[in-house]
């Protein structure tokens, strides 16, 4: 049997998927995931085939094979189903409803790895500069890494000690607390960012990634300080849709923080498997142990279901109101 033919990045259906995702203002991470699954599905049916002629049974067979033959996790299988539902509904305008009639992979029951407060302090103590501030936000505010790196200066409210998380998982906004101990480091980071931004403006750069229409509707907003990322990449990049030079700064790449954390964990002597998400698990668990209501933690974490929060053992009530961050106790 001949191997599946490759699907080029420039395939018209992949390009159409990207355009539709961007029109819906979904995250770059969602774009990468959905385009990857659409590409894999097109390879499965043959790149030259018309997906509209493919029956739902074949789509469900593809999803079943992911779990039974390829042994992917239930989470990955559900992600593929969501991507193909989006593809058929939004790109092909073929509303078959969500694909559900496939044999689901058995979900693994794994408890999250949680650090003790001493272990958190040990790992954070081995981080420095920007990376220490990012790690402190992951633990002190319960942010996902993508949310921390996606923070813009206009999302930080130092006076009320709150952080606005824009378009988090599920494209939802929420507020969480800003730990007292991070107020001064955040103010210093904003001051450094303002200085860098002024230098970029003098060079004719200074654009921040924005939805395409924003550059036409409110052209100044894209170069405002409020629109700039708190943790930008070190180099200027070409920003899609930005006028003029189109140069600006995208967020710091996640791999930079992941590498820094890996080195910090080794130096700290902590023997657990620690990822950036471990800080979020620890945030929730420590709040729960301190007696905070699970629904409060659910709000802070941005979970759609309380069930998810209880698996994490994470909770936060009125976002940032009357709640002491665990970071402020170490």
Mean pLDDT by runs of 10 across the 330 residues of the chain is 69 90 81 92 79 81 84 84 89 76 65 89 96 97 94 95 80 88 96 96 91 70 93 91 87 95 96 94 89 86 76 45 74
Q: Which residues contact 264 (CB under 8 A, 6 or more apart)?
A: 123, 124, 126, 127, 131, 135
Domains, the chain, in order of start with CATH, read 12-91 (1.10.150.130), 111-330 (1.10.443.10)
- Cα 185 to Cα 182: distance, rounded to the nearest angstrom: 5
Report yes or no: 13 and 49 within 8 Å, Cβ to Cβ: no
- Cα 274 to Cα 208: distance, rounded to the nearest angstrom: 32
- Cα 274 to Cα 219: distance, rounded to the nearest angstrom: 42
Predicted pLDDT at 142: 93
**Dihedral through CA 258, CA 264, CA 267, CA 269, nearest 10?**
-90
Predicted pLDDT at 8: 85
Predicted pLDDT at 119: 96
- Using a 10 angstrom Cβ sphere, with 0-12 exposed, 13-18 middle and 19 or more buried, the burial of residue 199 is exposed
Predicted pLDDT at 139: 96
Q: Residue written as tokens 């949680």?
A: 114
- Cα 75 to Cα 289: distance, rounded to the nearest angstrom: 28
- Using a 10 angstrom Cβ sphere, with 0-12 exposed, 13-18 middle and 19 or more buried, the burial of residue 93 is exposed
Structure tokens of 75? 């989470």
- Cα 229 to Cα 6: distance, rounded to the nearest angstrom: 36
Q: What angle do CA 134, 138, 140 make, to 5 degrees?
A: 105
Q: Residue written as tokens 């991470």?
A: 29
Predicted pLDDT at 246: 87
Report yes or no: 119 and 272 within 8 Å, Cβ to Cβ: yes
Predicted pLDDT at 297: 86
**Catalytic residue list:** 144, 169, 277, 280, 303, 312
* Residue 162 CB coordination number (10 Å): 17
Which pTM was predicted? 0.72
- Of 283, 255, 263, give the one whose Cα is nearest residue 137: 283
């Amino acid at each position: 049997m001949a191997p599946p033919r490759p699907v080029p990045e420039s395939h018209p259906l992949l390009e159409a998927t990207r355009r539709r995702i961007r029109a819906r203002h979904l995250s770059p991470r969602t774009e990468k995931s959905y385009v990857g699954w659409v590409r894999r599905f097109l390879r499965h049916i043959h790149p030259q085939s018309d997906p509209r002629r493919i029956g739902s049974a074949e789509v469900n067979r593809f999803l079943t094979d992911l779990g039974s033959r390829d042994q992917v996790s239930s989470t990955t299988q559900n992600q593929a189903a969501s991507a193909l539902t989006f593809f058929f509904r939004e790109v092909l305008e073929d509303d078959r409803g969500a694909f559900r009639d496939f044999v689901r992979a058995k979900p693994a029951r794994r408890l999250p790895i949680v650090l003790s407060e001493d272990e958190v302090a040990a790992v954070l103590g081995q981080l420095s500069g920007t990376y220490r501030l990012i790690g402190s936000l992951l633990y002190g505010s319960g942010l996902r890494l993508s949310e921390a790196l996606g923070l813009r200066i206009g999302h930080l409210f130092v006076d009320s000690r709150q952080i606005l998380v824009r378009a988090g998982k599920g494209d939802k906004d929420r507020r969480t607390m800003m730990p007292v101990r991070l107020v001064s480091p955040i103010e210093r980071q904003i001051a450094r960012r303002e200085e860098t931004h002024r230098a970029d403006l003098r060079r004719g750069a200074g654009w921040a990634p924005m939805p395409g229409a924003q550059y036409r509707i409110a052209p100044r907003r894209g170069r405002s300080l409020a629109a700039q990322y708190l943790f930008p990449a070190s180099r200027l990049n070409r920003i899609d849709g930005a006028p003029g030079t189109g140069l600006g700064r995208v967020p710091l790449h996640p791999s930079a923080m992941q590498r820094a954390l890996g080195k910090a964990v080794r130096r700290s002597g902590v023997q657990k498997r620690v990822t950036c998400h471990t800080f979020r698990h620890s945030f929730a668990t420590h709040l729960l142990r301190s007696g905070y209501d699970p629904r409060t933690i659910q709000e802070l974490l941005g979970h759609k279901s309380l069930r998810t929060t209880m698996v994490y053992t994470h909770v936060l009530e009125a976002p940032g109101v009357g709640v002491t961050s665990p970071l402020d106790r170490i």
